[in-house]
Structure 1
Amino acid sequence: MNTSTDQRRKYLRESVLSATPARLLTMLYDRLLLDLARAEQAQAAENWQAASAQLLHAQEIIAELSSSLKKDAWDGAENLFGLYTYVSNALMAANMHRDIKATRECIALLEPLREAWHEASASLPAQNSWDPARSAGSLGVA
């Protein structure tokens, strides 16, 4: 690899390692929607290999979001977990059946959530020192 690629990866790694839980959550949602947009484009172009790679990565992100969800932290957590389960199944179907409509449905379901998490994250007080218990609890994630 060249030096600029190595530097970029190092920067991204440091960004993730130093991010607050709220920022990590919004980063996951941003990447999830980016993967889905790329999958949709690849499906439209009938580039099934590229679409599959993007859909599989999106499924990994959904699995991470599901596993980090603290179901006892707030009343809506169980419903959010159900949505993650639905989206995970829809992404599998989109991949197996080359179904662009399923991919678009997932985008339509997740985009408002991404916006809501960004708004919630922006409304949190600035956190100079990271307190995992306080930060995670405030967003309902571990």
Structure 2
Amino acid sequence: MSLTYGMAAKRAEYARNAVLSATPARLLTMLYDRLLLDLSRAEAAQLAANWPVASENLVHAQAIVSELTGTLRTDVWDGAENLKALYAYSLTTMMDANIHRSPERTRECIDLLEPLRLAWHEAAAQVPVQGATPSAAMTPGGTLGVG
């Protein structure tokens, strides 16, 4: 086993453990952070005409938005339907950005979702760490209306 492989395996194990031990609020912010990273990478790749890398990142960003949509609790939070519509629009825009190789459409997604990422980080910072369990997000009125 090479040193590089060993380091990569340790990094992957650390990331897996970070996800498995994260609170629901932290998982949400981690997803948003990765979403915006994917979109930024896609935009950079599109501007460099590196279409395979752009596509890979846009497809991963779409998977994240699909996950966010699937975990949205519309029965817990009045604003959930509006957020769900925004996610649907973002998915369509990402697909369009990929199909038409449009960095402008990718930038539109970044500009739309970055304020949400910041807002979720602010909201997550208000959630008490003690007593926060994954099951808290699954109950009505749970953490951040996602679960």
Number of the residue aligned with 1:132: 134
Aligned with 2:101 (options 82, 94, 98): 98
Root-mean-square deviation over aligned CA pairs: 1.1
Query: How far did 1:75 drift?
Result: 0.7
Q: How many equivalent residue pairs?
A: 141
Contact 2:43 2:54 in 1 (8 A): yes
Query: How far did 1:45 drift?
Result: 0.4
Number of the residue aligned with 1:31: 34
Query: How far did 1:126 drift?
Result: 1.7
Query: How far did 1:17 drift?
Result: 0.3
Number of the residue aligned with 1:72: 75
Q: Which amino acid aligns with 2:70?
A: S
Distance 2:82 2:55 in 1: 27
Q: Does 1:21 align with 2:38?
A: no
Distance 2:135 2:73 in 1: 12
Q: Does 1:58 align with 2:58?
A: no
For structure 2, the 5+ residue unaligned runs are none
3-state SS in 2 of match to 1:74: coil
Query: How far did 1:130 drift?
Result: 4.1
Contact 1:20 1:135 in 2 (8 A): no
Question: Deviations for 1:69-121, whole angstroms, at most 9, x for unmatched residues?
Answer: 01111110000000000000000000000011110000000000000000000
Q: Report the identity percentage.
A: 58
Q: Does 1:119 align with 2:122?
A: yes
Distance 1:56 1:111 in 2: 18
Distance 2:88 2:129 in 1: 32
TM-score by length of 2: 0.92
For structure 1, the 5+ residue unaligned runs are none
Distance 2:123 2:13 in 1: 28
Contact 2:42 2:53 in 1 (8 A): yes
3-state SS in 2 of match to 1:2: helix
Query: How far did 1:21 drift?
Result: 0.3
